[in-house]
A and B are shown apart, each in its own frame.
Chain A
Amino acid sequence: MDTMDTFERVAAQATTPDLAHSADVPLLEARNLRRLFPIHSANPFKPRRAVHAVEDASLALYPRRALALVGESGSGKTTVARMLARLDEPSAGAILFRGEPVKLGAGAAALRAYRRAVQMVFQDPFSSLNPAHSVRYHLSRPLRVYGHARGREQVTEQALALLARVSLTPTAQFIDKFPHELSGGQRQRVAIARALAVRPSVLLADEPVSMLDVSIRLDILNLLLRLKEDGLALLYITHDIASARYFAEETRVMYAGQMVEGGPSEAVTQRPKHPYTQLLLSAAPDPEKMGKDGGLAKLPARGEIPSLVTPPSGCRFHPRCPHVMPVCRERFPGRTDLGGGQWTHCWLYGGGDGTEGAEHTTQTPAPASAS
């Protein structure tokens, strides 16, 4: 089947990415984004506190490439995507579209032009579709607004084609349904179809396939792969690290608001360096084991849950890290390049400049888990 071939071909490409010197300019770029959410407090005399949701996040999205963002629940992935979609304003940092700084608070026309190029698929398909409108409305509106279809007939034809692309067949049955008449995975696919109706050049997909069974999930990822080959730039937020491995050239790992590791997906998933990435990979369910022995593998104890209101000092992973050193509690480590495009923020690898680390080692420490 040709879709499988696509999957395999791109998987093969992803093994040997050319991340370091791509001739392409980034389509969309985030530079040193920071986001604090102030906390409401009943007591006006208390010092104002805030959730430190994202610290110093940078990334670049290129045409024909997918970047996967994985990491801890609550680590700031959605917040990064929302800032890129201009649904939320960074507290600090810059967003560049085609190399130009995006002006926040620009007028409605500018915003519409931006939305034509940059679309987001939201994480929760239960709250992102309007309960008062049918699937037809959800798809027709962007088709009309962005001038891709005119007249009822043409709009319907294209809406049906979009439903077929996201495997919602028979399409004629789905087009007049309302969101409450759809299952979770069906809503998720309507949300994807709606974003694709705009024909964006950048797609920010926040857990777009999390409610789909493996078979339909494969269909949708293959669809996104084909769009990517046609020039789409993709941000793929996911908890399914195996799909990041197959689907995205590059993978970034976030923990508690900080980007802790990044690089070619194959390197990050097969040779993780940061202790959090190692923990994450060791916890992934392993279908190869097929539950013959059953039961959950043992993971190290979590300890106290880090607060993002008063985040741990230095490396935010330090309270859980099996390799923690005194310096980890003091300062956040800089970025260390590990070769082959892979990098990490961790004092084990020198903390950025190779001099500050308590011990500079080039060897990968043993994974944090016993499994």
Chain B
Amino acid sequence: MMDSRETTGITGTAITGDILLNVRHLSVDYQADAGDVHAVTDVSFALRRGEILGLAGESGSGKSTLAYALARLLRPPAVVTAGQVLYSPGVERQAARTSVHGGRRGRADGLDNAPLDILRLTPAQLRAFRWNDLAIVFQSAMNALNPVMTIGAQIVDVLAAHRPELSRGQRYDRAAELVRLVGIAPDRLISYPHELSGGMRQRATIAIALALSPDIIIMDEPTTALDVVVQHEILTEILRLRAELRFAVIFITHDLSLLLELADTIAIMYAGRIVEYGARRELAGQPRHPYSYGLLHSFPNLRGPRRTVLGIPGAPPDLRDVPPGCSFHPRCPFAFAPCSTTLPLLRPATTQTSAEEHQQVACHLYDPAFAPAPPAEELLAAGYAALVRE
């Protein structure tokens, strides 16, 4: 079994389950004549069984591209230019897939318990892997659904394809159970996608992703069309199922306040890279990267007196021509000499790394080689306040 700790980047998490997915140095480009778009650059992280990893970041920072890469759904002009995505199914699944699907080609090596490299799966292995082992809830619910089939028929189809042992009646019962789980009345199973509201479509795709109880569920902005009550109910269901079935979730959202309630670990992306990673509690308590700090302080508040909302001045970089050094430096209130020349890599945010302390940050302010001491939180606050006054 491979030890995740040998990889650079993110290792420990508060969750102690086995590592299900190990992403190592993954990079994805969209190739174009006008210049390649570097949508994902050198992303590494480990996802453990039962973990909910929240992925947040600016619009256009590469979150969906990363999700597509993990599910092997990228199409030209997208190319994976580097990296591995290693999946370690549990022993039971391992046995099941050998008996049902035979072949074991595509392994990273010949060993029995060695992980599968998703990027090298054969088409047959890939068919078995998708939906069964990994399901994805797409950012665009309408495109993910078949417009000429009722949602009931679509769920039943997925069940029929992957669970042939179920009888017709059982499939319909399961479909009704699944839509109820996401708050849709079963009398709407006969509706076509265009007859559903935006949020109902989104919920139908969540129901399909849950249908086969996969090991890993990637959810790309799954709740943008949901009111907070329904969102809350569905997330509660997902947490309950997670505890029962021990699947892992990669939850992509722009809504950090949601991740602060839901996720076990949080990764913040900026311009194709993970710039901060840590347990929810750490990130919520003290965001370290100047970008994360800005993100956490840009909320209009619902409760209490109104206040000035900070925002992050400036625009995200052109991904064809990412600024040298730290890609955030042109917008960063704290940029200093090394920021425009040297690329910061993820490193522990503090020197005293205890068992629970594994917040990682890619910023020179936290590198003893450049900064004698990491900045205090008041300093981050003052820096942004000054920008807003300007």
- Residues of A participating in the B interface, judged by any CB pair closer than 8 Å: 1, 3-4, 7-8, 11-12, 15, 37, 39-40, 51, 70-75, 77-78, 123-124, 126-127, 167, 169-170, 173, 181-186, 189, 206-207, 210-219, 239, 241-243, 245-246, 269, 279-281, 283-292, 294-297, 299, 302, 305-310
How many Å from the CB of B383 to the closest CB on chain A?
A: 14
Among listed B79-87, B153-161, B251-259, B362-370, interface-contacting one: B251-259
The residue of chain B having its C-beta at the shortest distance from the C-beta of A167 within the complex is B315
A294 close to B280 (CB less than 8 A):
yes
B320 close to A173 (CB less than 8 A):
yes
18 A-B pairs besides A74-B196, A213-B254, A217-B254 with CB distance below 8 A are A1-B311, A70-B227, A126-B143, A170-B318, A173-B320, A212-B59, A213-B59, A214-B299, A215-B58, A218-B298, A239-B227, A269-B302, A279-B229, A287-B301, A290-B284, A292-B284, A297-B232, A297-B261
How many Å from the CB of B288 to the closest CB on chain A?
A: 14
Q: Which of A1, A185, A296 contacts B262, CB < 8 Å?
A: A296
Residues on the A chain within 8 Å of B224, using CB: 207, 210-211, 239
Residues on the B chain within 8 Å of A281, using CB: 302
How many Å from the CB of A167 to the closest CB on chain B?
A: 6
The residue of chain B having its C-beta at the shortest distance from the C-beta of A3 within the complex is B311
Query: Which of A11, A37, A185, A287 lies at the interface centre, i.e. has the most chain B CB atoms within 10 A of its CB?
Result: A287
* Known pairs A74-B199, A212-B59, A213-B59; A4 contacts B308 (CB<8 A): yes
Residues on the A chain within 8 Å of B281, using CB: 291-292, 294
Residues on the A chain within 8 Å of B294, using CB: 215
Residues on the A chain within 8 Å of B256, using CB: 214, 287
Residues on the B chain within 8 Å of A309, using CB: 185, 187-188
A72 close to B229 (CB less than 8 A):
yes
User: Does B226 touch A at the CB level, under 8 Å?
Assistant: yes
- Give the distance in Å from the alpha carbon of A285 to the alpha carbon of B221 in the complex: 16
- Give the distance in Å from the alpha carbon of A306 to the alpha carbon of B183 in the complex: 9
How many Å from the CB of A315 to the closest CB on chain B?
A: 17
User: Does B330 touch A at the CB level, under 8 Å?
Assistant: no
How many Å from the CB of A55 to the closest CB on chain B?
A: 15
B261 close to A211 (CB less than 8 A):
no
- Residues of B participating in the A interface, judged by any CB pair closer than 8 Å: 30, 34, 56-60, 63-64, 139-143, 180, 183-185, 187-188, 190, 195-200, 203, 221, 224-233, 235-236, 239, 254-262, 280-281, 284-285, 294-296, 298-304, 306, 308-309, 311-313, 315, 318, 320, 387-390
* Known pairs A211-B254, A286-B302, A290-B260; A127 contacts B142 (CB<8 A): yes
B58 close to A1 (CB less than 8 A):
no
Q: Which of A73, A219, A294, A295 contacts B199, CB < 8 Å?
A: A73
The residue of chain B having its C-beta at the shortest distance from the C-beta of A219 within the complex is B311
The residue of chain A having its C-beta at the shortest distance from the C-beta of B286 within the complex is A290
A291 close to B284 (CB less than 8 A):
yes
B57 close to A73 (CB less than 8 A):
no
A186 close to B60 (CB less than 8 A):
yes
B318 close to A173 (CB less than 8 A):
yes
Residues on the A chain within 8 Å of B239, using CB: 296
Q: Which of A77, A124, A296 contacts B141, CB < 8 Å?
A: A124
A284 close to B311 (CB less than 8 A):
no
B227 close to A73 (CB less than 8 A):
yes
The residue of chain A having its C-beta at the shortest distance from the C-beta of B77 within the complex is A181
- Give the distance in Å from the alpha carbon of A206 to the alpha carbon of B221 in the complex: 17
B261 close to A291 (CB less than 8 A):
yes
How many Å from the CB of B73 to the closest CB on chain A?
A: 13
* Known pairs A181-B30, A184-B139, A245-B300; A283 contacts B295 (CB<8 A): no
How many Å from the CB of A328 to the closest CB on chain B?
A: 19
Residues on the B chain within 8 Å of A299, using CB: 229, 232-233, 236
How many Å from the CB of A346 to the closest CB on chain B?
A: 17
The residue of chain B having its C-beta at the shortest distance from the C-beta of A126 within the complex is B140
A215 close to B311 (CB less than 8 A):
yes
B229 close to A286 (CB less than 8 A):
no
B302 close to A283 (CB less than 8 A):
no
Residues on the B chain within 8 Å of A15, using CB: 306
How many Å from the CB of A194 to the closest CB on chain B?
A: 17
- Give the distance in Å from the alpha carbon of A287 to the alpha carbon of B287 in the complex: 13
- Give the distance in Å from the alpha carbon of A340 to the alpha carbon of B196 in the complex: 36
Q: Could you name 15 residue pairs across A and B whose Cβ atoms are closer than 8 Å? A: A1-B313, A12-B306, A72-B229, A73-B197, A74-B197, A214-B311, A218-B311, A242-B301, A283-B232, A286-B302, A288-B301, A291-B261, A294-B281, A305-B180, A305-B184
The residue of chain A having its C-beta at the shortest distance from the C-beta of B198 within the complex is A123
The residue of chain A having its C-beta at the shortest distance from the C-beta of B143 within the complex is A126
Residues on the A chain within 8 Å of B259, using CB: 291
Residues on the A chain within 8 Å of B261, using CB: 285, 289, 291, 294-297
Q: Which of A39, A71, A170, A181 contacts B190, CB < 8 Å?
A: A39
Residues on the A chain within 8 Å of B304, using CB: 288
How many Å from the CB of B302 to the closest CB on chain A?
A: 4
Which 4 A-B residue pairs are closest in the complex by CB-CB distance?
A: A185-B59, A73-B199, A291-B260, A126-B140
